[in-house]
Amino acid sequence: MPMIYLSPSTQEWNQYVTGSGSEEYNMNLLADALEPYLRSNGIQYRRNRPEMTAASSIREANQGEYDLYLALHSNASGAGSYGENRGIIAFYYPGSSAGRRAAELIAQQLRQIYPLPNQVTTRATTSLGEVRQPRFPSVLVEIGYHDNYEDAVWVEGHLDAIAQQLARALTEFFGLPFIYPMTPVPGTVAIQYGTLNLRDYPSSDGAILENLPAGSTVTVYGEWEGWYVVHYEGYVGYAAAAYIDIG
């Protein structure tokens, strides 16, 4: 199953014009909203922490193996144009076809909810460390301008919608079906003999990640067309719902 490094902004000094808090605060709220969507769709993640910096986030990520580095930020205008700009930019590294594809999918999804869809763009850059330095495909999304009142209010009022669209982009990027979150529930593998296959895709054609013995306890995070997204002893994948008792 895919694994991403999730890096909400650590810029506590960048304050929203609405007085709601900092870029760090609001992007961590967005990451909080995104986590249930990641779990329900079988996307594993590691997340940075507010006491970190962008540089330490990159270093931590580069010590692991990830399929995508996703940085969540909000933008600010330069001197002389404070509060005048609006829009969303998904940055990617030039020459990274996977990074560009991820950025384009994110922009495509966010255009569906942002009030000015023509101002949701993608852009190649070498100037942003969180795009340039990760060892794997990376996208940094500047979600609105926090010095613009309309943008700041929009971000604050649409955290769940933004999270959902980001998750839709990620599932398309990884070739997975999108699954709405559910409250995680415990489950028990209920088979008469043998083991239950845990797969990397909700199909009998999906590769087998692990074999679940009868009576095994799992956590169910989502359901899609007769399959559960489950967590079992460090593994996350899809298992046939008919063979798992929940509740």
For 192-236, how does the pLDDT look when each residue is reduced to its tens digit (9 = 90+)? 989 999 999 999 999 999 999 999 999 999 999 999 999 999 899
Pairing of strands 138-145, 195-199: unpaired
CATH 3.90.1150.10 at 3-174, yes or no? no
**43 and 61 in contact (C-beta within 8 Å)?**
no
Domain borders along the chain are 3-174, 185-246
Per-residue pLDDT of 139-180, as tens digits, reads 999 999 999 999 999 999 999 999 999 999 999 999 999 999
d(CA 139, CA 122): 10
Which CATH code of 2.30.30.40, 1.10.760.10, 1.10.530.10, 2.40.110.10 fits the domain covering 185-246? 2.30.30.40
User: Which of these ranges, 81-85, 185-189, 239-243, has the smallest mean pLDDT?
Assistant: 81-85
Tens of pLDDT, residue by residue over 100-137, are: 999 999 999 999 999 999 999 999 999 999 999 999 99
